[in-house]
Structure 1
């Protein structure tokens, strides 16, 4: 595994260090890797969780019609997260521009918070 101390120090530099650790440590791809690869693991985790949330939103739209309007807005936000923020962040990381990738991930956080607050 990438040096555990390296991962710990990397995650301490994030706003959500426990979440960062919970994503990176169990992933076998975090073994013997660099900072960019760790960031790509995290971005892919955001994508996967965004897709899962989209599926949950669809299920809720079917079972809780009283929340349809709010859920439609949330679906739009999560669609932007999965189809815009994540690909931009991946491209930025692969292109050597981690600050741009950080901006995309910060935007995805804002979108998820906006969805949550809309309830």
Structure 2
């Protein structure tokens, strides 16, 4: 009986803070232009229940980075299988490898971690323009990256809005 009481108390302790923290996550996500997308990706991260605003920003930057890596890997596969799209795919590869992953994501992390979020906000504001640029490289062709470019751009917009809570 004593063990059962301990288990019940432990379960109550574990669920109460999560409910309170879910309210905090909802509050921050409501400040974004896409509440549903914010909640979907933030709440999927195990850090979310204990997150402060800075951690939520890091979670979203991590999400943008992960989806950008997925897109970059797809571009590399498509380069091998679609020689007819070589030029736009190479341009998109540069957009993702150099501009997004090596520059904008790094600036965003540094801005949040080092306590100067205006640089992180600016990086996430610029990122969707890079994904649009990738789409535009396919002028005259159907882009095989439309869905991922759109998703990465939308995630960057949500990330920018989360970062604005740090300003």
TM exceeding 0.5: yes
Mapped pair 1:67 → 2:71:
no
Deviation at 1:104, TM superposition (A): 0.9
Aligned to 1:110: 129
Deviation at 1:41, TM superposition (A): 0.6
Task: Flag as ranges the 4+ runs of structure 1 deviating above 3 A.
Answer: none
Deviation at 1:98, TM superposition (A): 1.8
Distance 2:60 2:22 in 1: 16
27, 39, 42: which is aligned to 2:45? 27
Tell me whether 102-111 or 35-44 shows the greater mean CA deviation.
Answer: 102-111
Aligned to 1:46: 64
Greater gyration radius: 2
Aligned to 2:21: 3
How big is the alpha-carbon RMSD for the aligned residues of Structure 1 and Structure 2?
1.4
Unaligned runs of 5+ in 2: 1-17, 139-167
Unaligned runs of 5+ in 1: none
Deviation at 1:42, TM superposition (A): 0.4
- Normalized against structure 2, the TM-score is what? 0.67
Structure 1 pair 117/15, CA: closer, same or farther in 2 (3 Å)? farther
Aligned to 2:107: 88
